[in-house]
Amino acid sequence: MSSPPIKRALISVSDKLGLVDFAQGLAAAGAEIYSTGGTRRHLEQSGIEVLDVAEYTGFPEMMDGRVKTLHPRIFAGILCRHDREDDMASLEEHEILSFELVVVNLYPFQATIAKPDVTKAQAIEQIDIGGPSLVRAAAKNARFTSIVTNPEQYSSVLDEVTESGCTTQETRDQLSAAAFAMTAEYDRAISGYFAESEVDGGFTRNMTISMRLKNELRYGENPHQQAAVYSMVGYSGANVVNARQLNGKDLSYNNLLDLDAALHIVRPFTEAACSVIKHNNPCGAATGDSLAEATRKAMAGDPLSAFGSILGMNRVVDEETAELLSEPGLFVEAIVAPDFSASAIGILTTKPKWRNNVRLMQVGTLEDQQVELSYRHIHGGMLVQDADVIADDYPGWEVVTETEPNEPLVSELKFAWQMVRHIKSNAIAVCREQSLVGAGAGQMSRVDSVEIAIRKAGDRTQGAVLSSDAFFPFPDSIHAAAEAGIAAIIQPGGSRGDESVIEACNEHGIPMIFTGRRHFKH
């Protein structure tokens, strides 16, 4: 059977953006329009002839609009199969009209629960009942019924109706898929809200994560792997998934991983900060009185590794910083920052050799990061944990050595402790003058990480500080640090070998702080 002509449209929407023009176009194409409540009044006020659903069903709206479209004369008209004689005979027998187009969007439940101090009663009143039922009925009968759930769909649907009086099967299938995705997302928001309201700490018994395709990527970590990036529905705040790309080639899977890591490092600093990421580990990071100073120090942390790196910044990229990055011999893949000045964009996209390729990612204001959940897929399930974003309790730190660090060393140790949480375990950070100058990452042995970090730092270990994401089980790393000229050490403590490690620090006159908290990053 060919596509049925759209004789009648049922319209009931909460979001009325663009509705008048759409309805006027449908009426001009010969479609009768049926509607309810506020939607009907909105259309009538614009001079559009609308038939009242209550008059058609013979059943008035009741309970403040809670019940209005839930009626057999509505659902039979939506669900009828136009190629079935028995279906069409049933319509004729009961004097029921068919609806070939349904236009519905739902009560704003998600927007309601996002408001501060919303009550449970207020949230409940924004749970749509009739709307999802209409949507599902029309989406189920996509062979004959078009379901429109988003104002963005109005234009293309109207073009088809105006041209041929109906929609194509391909369009109806696409609209149906979008409709089912919308109701699934809506139900997820509702179930998530009630699950959270019933749990005081801990985790909900059931978890549903709603995501939308943002972009397909050229490939994954390797060329033989297909990949895509999805945005998490309802997630707000500055992030690389929803960032605005101002310049450069399309982002890759690895680019996005590194951009996210780069932004995560600089986000908590109140001072100007820059991070330099290579293979999801920081090879440089620093703070400074200006962004240019922080960037210069960060790029100097490991100049060899910084070539072809990803940069994260917590300030608007200005002209001075852009000039610094345009110096001969430097090359960066991408930069993520709150924003870029016009002059900085002009420099970065015209001056260096890589001008056409560098990705410039604008994320907006870096607000304080709230505690959120971190998800990690494993075969057969998902690991879920609180993200490691809680600030450390500096007053709770304990100096465990005979020698105490002076105030400048304490400041350096705070910076080093902030850095080590971003390096893959076993993680060691060597820092000096608020800059990461040596990192040991991902080694099976902690002493190997110490040796790598010291080697990376070179002669900059003299007077530098060293941080470790977890305790030192043996004093061998302390002896290596002392030989390199490390001035102070910070670590969680808690090993059975703590006493021997403290004794080694006292032997070398190195002050050491126990934080009581580790920062594994696997």
DSSP track, 290-335 = SHHHHHHHHHTSSHHHHTTEEEEESS-B-HHHHHHHTSTT--EEEE
Contact, 57 vs 71, CB < 8 A? Answer: yes
Q: Per DSSP, what are the bridge partners of residue 360?
A: 247, 335
Could you tell me the residue ranges of all domains in the chain? 8-197, 241-362, 395-514
Kind and range of the H or E run holding 507: helix 498-508
Tell me how far apart the alpha carbons of residues 209 and 192 are, in angstroms, rounded to a whole number.
9
Where b means 16+ CB within 10 Å and e means fewer, 131-168 reads: bbbbbbbbbebbebbbbbbebebbeebbebbeeebbbe
Q: Beta 332-337 vs 281-288: how paired, if at all?
A: unpaired
Tell me how far apart the alpha carbons of residues 318 and 220 are, in angstroms, rounded to a whole number.
33
Tell me how far apart the alpha carbons of residues 272 and 313 are, in angstroms, rounded to a whole number.
8
Dump pLDDT digits (tens) for 93-138: 888 888 999 999 888 888 877 787 888 888 888 887 888 899 999 9
What's residue 64's pLDDT? Answer: 65
Where b means 16+ CB within 10 Å and e means fewer, 99-126 reads: bbbbbbbbbebbebbeeeeeeeeebeeb
Kind and range of the H or E run holding 436: strand 436-440
Please give the sequence-ordered ranges of beta strands (E in DSSP) within 46-136, or none if there are none.
51-52, 101-104
The CA-based dihedral angle spanning residues 81, 83, 85, 89, taken in that order and rounded to the nearest 10 degrees: 40
Tell me how far apart the alpha carbons of residues 182 and 132 are, in angstroms, rounded to a whole number.
9
DSSP state, residue 368: P
Chain centroid to Cα 296, Å, comes to 29
Contact, 33 vs 127, CB < 8 A? Answer: no
Please say whether the structural domain 395-514 has been given the CATH code 1.10.4160.10. Answer: no
Which residue matches tokens 């993200």? 387
What's residue 495's pLDDT? Answer: 92
Q: Check for a shared fold between 241-362 and 395-514.
A: yes
Dump pLDDT digits (tens) for 365-422: 988 666 678 888 999 998 988 888 888 877 889 999 999 999 999 999 999 999 999 9
Q: How far is CA 1 from CA 81, 101, 168, in A?
A: 11, 17, 12
Of the candidates 238, 359, 348, 356, the one whose C-alpha atom is nearest the C-alpha of residue 310 is 359
Of the candidates 276, 278, 270, 273, the one whose C-alpha atom is nearest the C-alpha of residue 292 is 273
The tally of CA atoms less than 13 A away on the side-chain side of residue 23 is 30
509: helix, strand or coil: coil
Tell me how far apart the alpha carbons of residues 166 and 445 are, in angstroms, rounded to a whole number.
68
CATH number belonging to the domain at 8-197, selected among 3.40.50.2300, 3.90.1200.10, 3.40.50.970, 3.40.50.1380: 3.40.50.1380
Tell me how far apart the alpha carbons of residues 332 and 225 are, in angstroms, rounded to a whole number.
24
Tell me how far apart the alpha carbons of residues 374 and 69 are, in angstroms, rounded to a whole number.
41
What's residue 124's pLDDT? Answer: 85
What's residue 370's pLDDT? Answer: 64
What's residue 369's pLDDT? Answer: 65
Chain centroid to Cα 269, Å, comes to 20
What's residue 342's pLDDT? Answer: 95
First to last CA, the chain: 57
Q: Which residues of the chain have pLDDT under 70?
A: 1, 61-68, 196-201, 368-371
What's residue 108's pLDDT? Answer: 81
Contacts of 217 (CB under 8 A, 6+ apart): 227, 228, 229, 250, 251, 252, 253, 256
366: helix, strand or coil: coil
Contact, 449 vs 471, CB < 8 A? Answer: no
pTM listed for this prediction: 0.77
Angle subtended by helix axes 154-164 and 19-28, to nearest 10:
10
Alpha helices in 33-100 (DSSP H): 37-45, 53-57, 72-79, 85-93
Contacts of 415 (CB under 8 A, 6+ apart): 287, 431, 434
What is the set of active-site residues?
Answer: 140, 279
Tell me how far apart the alpha carbons of residues 360 and 244 are, in angstroms, rounded to a whole number.
8
Contacts of 9 (CB under 8 A, 6+ apart): 23, 26, 31, 32, 33, 34, 99, 100, 101, 102, 103
CATH number belonging to the domain at 241-362, selected among 3.40.140.20, 3.30.70.960, 3.40.190.10, 3.40.50.300: 3.40.140.20
